[in-house]
Amino acid sequence: MLIKSSQDGFYHPVASEITSQRVYTGRRDLIKLMASGVAGAALASWASREARAQTPRPGKLAALPHVKSDVAGAVTLEKLTDYKDASSYNNFYEFGTDKSDPARHAHTLKTSAWTVEIEGLVKKPARYALEDLLKLSAQEERIYRLRCVEGWSMVIPWVGYSLSELIKKVEPLGNAKYVEFVTLADPKTMPFVGSRVLDWPYVEGLRLDEAMHPLTLLSFGMYGELLPNQNGAPVRLVVPWKYGFKSAKSLVKIRFTDQQPATAWSKAAPNEYGFFSNVNPSVDHPRWSQASERRIGEDGLFAKKRKTLMFNGYETQVGQLYAGMDLKKLF
Ligand code: MTE
């Protein structure tokens, strides 16, 4: 994020994850995916319908069954970012610091036999297999803006369900105030873990009421398909009113606590990245303005920047969470 990039010494050209993908049919992908053991059970009932439909989809990954959703007015009428841009211009520091690094390197991420552990201040701690997590609630497609702290944004149709569905199942105890999200840090498959850029694993956190807000999405897919590795497969968070770094990728643990979690970016640069990190055009980053943004895909030489909106445009839905708080201090 704030780091000057070109220190990656690793370059493994990948038989393109992206360019060849349009040639695949959904059925073939699904069979492949099921053979790999990921999400097989959850997707099985979808298989015959998918085989019949065979509509061209943006990627090469298996379709994720979903219903369209307009939870709390989350759908924007803006043009969607191209799948190619959304899956090739990424921040996923475990795979390098250049925007193109995750798409080039994240093929090494192993998403089979994935589990997510729920622990801490809950009545029902559990370890969920991904297949069970996929089935826990209906998958919905939600079009959210994601605004990165670096000044760019995208509009992406995410697929998942409100994190609150999972939280209700595990029953937080009365003293649980925060939720900590821990992501995979596997130096064998993630070449940049071990670099000193961040204190690994990448950890994020939300206040419990933020985590329970219906907009907070536990996401398994985008553009109707499973998440590409570089976008945080097999399961990530999307918190659309906060800067993109709050949307932790490749989750392995969700912990309920009574203390505000120490997050990776606030540990790395506490004066630059606060715990809340709500999108706020009137609170500048110490080194740059946050008043405007560049929409990925609209970036010709003379393209006009867009004005950044308070809470990334989700103020009516989430503003009340911060009533009475000084958002300049609690940035
Ligand atoms: N999650 C992990 N585990 N590692 C990361 O480096 N980067 C964050 C966030 N989640 C990051 C992460 C940042 S800075 C952004 S802007 C978003 O992921 C980018 O998500 P996208 O690549 O799907 O657009």
Measured between alpha carbons, how far is 180 from 162 in angstroms, rounded to an integer?
16
Ligand 1 in contact with 216 (CB < 6 A)?
Answer: no
> Ligand 1, atom 13: nearest CA belongs to which residue?
245
Ligand 1 in contact with 245 (CB < 6 A)?
Answer: yes
Q: 72 falls in which pLDDT band (50, 70, 90)?
A: confident
Ligand 1 in contact with 197 (CB < 6 A)?
Answer: no
Summarize pLDDT for 98-130 with one digit per residue, the tens. 999 999 999 999 999 999 999 999 999 999 999
**What pTM was computed for the model?**
0.86
Class of domain 5-318: alpha beta
Q: Is the pLDDT of residue 4 over 50?
A: no
Ligand 1 in contact with 235 (CB < 6 A)?
Answer: no
CA 92 to ligand 1 centroid distance, Å: 5
| Chain mean pLDDT for the chain | 87
CA 321 to ligand 1 centroid distance, Å: 24
Which pLDDT value is given to residue 58?
83
Ligand 1: which atom is nearest the Cα of residue 90? 22
Which pLDDT value is given to residue 303?
83
Ligand 1 in contact with 81 (CB < 6 A)?
Answer: no
Distances (CA, A) of 43 to 3, 29, 225, 249, 301: 39, 11, 11, 22, 43
Q: 56 falls in which pLDDT band (50, 70, 90)?
A: low
Query: Beta strand pairing status for 217-222 and 306-307?
Result: unpaired
> Ligand 1, atom 16: nearest CA belongs to which residue?
244
Ligand 1 in contact with 248 (CB < 6 A)?
Answer: yes
CA 91 to ligand 1 centroid distance, Å: 5
Residue 57: closest CA among 80, 34, 24 = 24
